[in-house]
Amino acid sequence: MAINKERKDELVEQYRELLQNSSAIFLTRYGGMSVKELEALRLKINDANGRINVTKNTLLRIALEENQMPPPHELLNGQVATSFALGEASTLAKVLVDQAKTNDKLKIVGGLLGNRPLTAAEVESLATLPSLDQLRAQILGLLGAPAQGIVSAVAGGVRQVVNVLDAYAKKDDSAAAEAA
């Protein structure tokens, strides 16, 4: 289906805006997927703070070049759906990898993380990374562990001093009671 020049310009602008707001893009082949399957995928991607578009390859190349991003020419052929990570890239990668495992019609072919091209295997590796919130929790746990050790050591030392002073006080009290 041929589209006119104005529509092409609109699509390029739409792709450019999505690229500017994305931390990563993932390219997938979706041949043979039903409308129902595509809609279910779209909902899961939206939940992961992403967006998926069936993109025109030539127009996506133009938008990538206008954003000074290297277009992955070898990946942009055939039926391509582009997923834009508007949030965390790893979260969207997890959704795509999980969906590709359950639906053999969806194939991850690669992507871009910033300006770095990704292979399909690298997208799968990205999907195994913890989310930013999980990483923050792990870092806080690591930072808190030494502090707890210091508090325990100081509290243990103070406890020993208090026990020694208490023993001396009891000894003095018992000596005074014997003298009386």
pLDDT digits over 83-127, tens only? 999 988 899 999 999 999 999 899 999 999 888 888 889 999 888
* Whole-angstrom distance, CA of residue 99 vs CA of residue 43: 12
* Whole-angstrom distance, CA of residue 180 vs CA of residue 178: 5
| Cβ atoms within 10 Å, residue 110 | 19
C-alpha 177 chain-centroid distance = 71
**What are the Cα distances from residue 153, in Å, to 140, 143, 150, 158, 167?**
20, 16, 5, 9, 21
Least Cα distance to 98 among 78, 79, 126 occurs for: 126
CATH topology of domain 5-129: Alpha-Beta Plaits (3.30.70)
Query: What are the residues whose beta carbons fall under 8 Å from the beta carbon of 119, sequence distance 6 or more?
Result: 110
What's the pTM? 0.71
Q: Output the pLDDT for position 52.
A: 92
Q: Where are the domains of the chain?
A: 5-129, 130-180
Confidence of residue 45 (pLDDT cuts 50, 70, 90): very high
Q: Assess contact for 44 and 95: CB atoms under 8 A.
A: yes
